[in-house]
Structure 1
């Protein structure tokens, strides 16, 4: 059966790269993003996907998450792979961070991971021979922390908590892992989200460069494929050496 893959945050960055990577493998792909990612979906259709759909979804909204689940169920009857990439970042000193900004980061990054993961798992048929896969995008910052990014770090640390808990709850029938990227060349590293000082600090890692979205997408397709059958509860770190557990 052709894999049925749901990718959130799919209009750009890591999510878009994942959509192309799974499409090239012939998967059926739903691209979900805050604004309907039809332009990305149209491009993805040209690279080999069995089927591509684009759906608008605010992952921090419970009604939207339920609607996304229902749309996938109606179209495909179930789901084989979730790659949850939707997320936001916030840089500010703690004493200059309003509670509303903290709440927004937690709502998108952690609450969204919980709701989208819950929705995806409800659509999966556990199978210890060929288990469905849940893949959440966390961050290298979840391991080492970072000043002036405390809401983001807390949210991504929480994502790892979800992964470890779900991995134990649903093994061996569903495999649950996180990808914890280092600095990746996406809009998230742009001036609207991170200061020039911190972008420069991101380069102070052994490989001395930003990673590319397709390098993260390659990890997602690995975890979703035959090579990922013995991984669960893990945080995989394509990070250029920023974290060395």
Structure 2
């Protein structure tokens, strides 16, 4: 079945694992061309190794550090040159930091603060400042940033993480106003999602439970987030911009 993402071209940042990987796989399965970058060259190699020949022909992949503005800009232009157009971008790059769930704000070092803010805020700035230059993206393009349910509330022993997610949502909503519909800009706010990052937190912090019991009493899946991101990238969401979409099992209800 043809979808509104068929024959479209998208950039997926942080697309070699977790929610980003699920989005790459979904878009390729629906007939899209995908330029995927990730800081992990090993994960990118694994992604490419598991693609079918047909999917591989529609995938362009390079390692990129999203905190490096020139690297982000170079990758975007290389992807556009490779495919001839860009219809949208989804940014999954982000971090909870090294002490999420254990360190109060007064226990957080300046280096840790800079690490979190550089990736979660400066990284998004680097994406938007390159992507939203008038004429760069195709007409009716869409940019989706992946935030967190903690973009809208505090996180116990995760103050800098929550602050970075609040800041990113503010940037997304402001950018949506600035583009005036030329490019739609939205944010997805996942709750507890079963990803390698969440599993690492479970291994690091005993009884890691960042949210209370939710109306849907289970963790979400990477695919469930990918489904919403794909919708927001597609023309099916043509009247949606400047919004925050919770994918959290009702945690923020």
Using structure 2 for the length normalisation, give the TM-score: 0.88
Find the counterpart in structure 2 of residue 235 from structure 1: 244
Q: 1:178 aligns with which of 170, 184, 187?
A: 187
> 2:127 & 2:52 partners in 1: Cα distance?
24
TM-superposed CA distance for 1:41, in Å, is 2.9
Pick which of 99-108 and 220-229 moved more.
220-229
1:107 aligned onto 2:111: no
Structure-2 separation of matches of 1:101 and 1:27? 37
CA–CA distance in 2 between the matches of 1:49 and 1:27?
A: 11
RMSD of Structure 2 on Structure 1 (CA): 1.9
Gap regions ≥5 residues in structure 2: 1-5
C-alpha deviations, 1:33-53, integer Å up to 9, x for none? 002312213324467576101
Distance 1:186 1:11 in 2: 12
Equivalent runs, 1:55-70 vs 2, <5 Å: 55-70=62-77
C-alpha contact (below 8 Å) 1:135/1:220 kept by paired residues: yes
213-222 or 92-101, larger mean C-alpha shift: 92-101
Once the 2 structures are TM-superposed, how far is the Cα of residue 88 of structure 1 from its aligned partner?
0.9
Instruction: Give 1:146 deviation, angstroms.
Output: 1.1
Which residue is 1:5 aligned to?
A: 10
Identify the residue that residue 40 of structure 1 maps to in structure 2: 47
1:85 to 81, 92, 103: 92
Q: Secondary structure at the match of 1:206?
A: coil
Give how far 1:118 is off: 2.1
What do residues 62-81 of structure 1 show as CA deviations (whole Å, max 9, x unaligned)? 23212212312321343111
Question: Does residue 19 in structure 1 map to residue 28 in structure 2?
Answer: no
Which one of 187, 200, 207 corresponds to residue 197 of structure 1?
Answer: 207
1:208 CA displacement: 1.8
Indicate which of 76, 95, 102 corresponds to 2:83: 76
Matched, 1:124 2:99: no
Contact 1:180 1:236 in 2 (8 A): yes
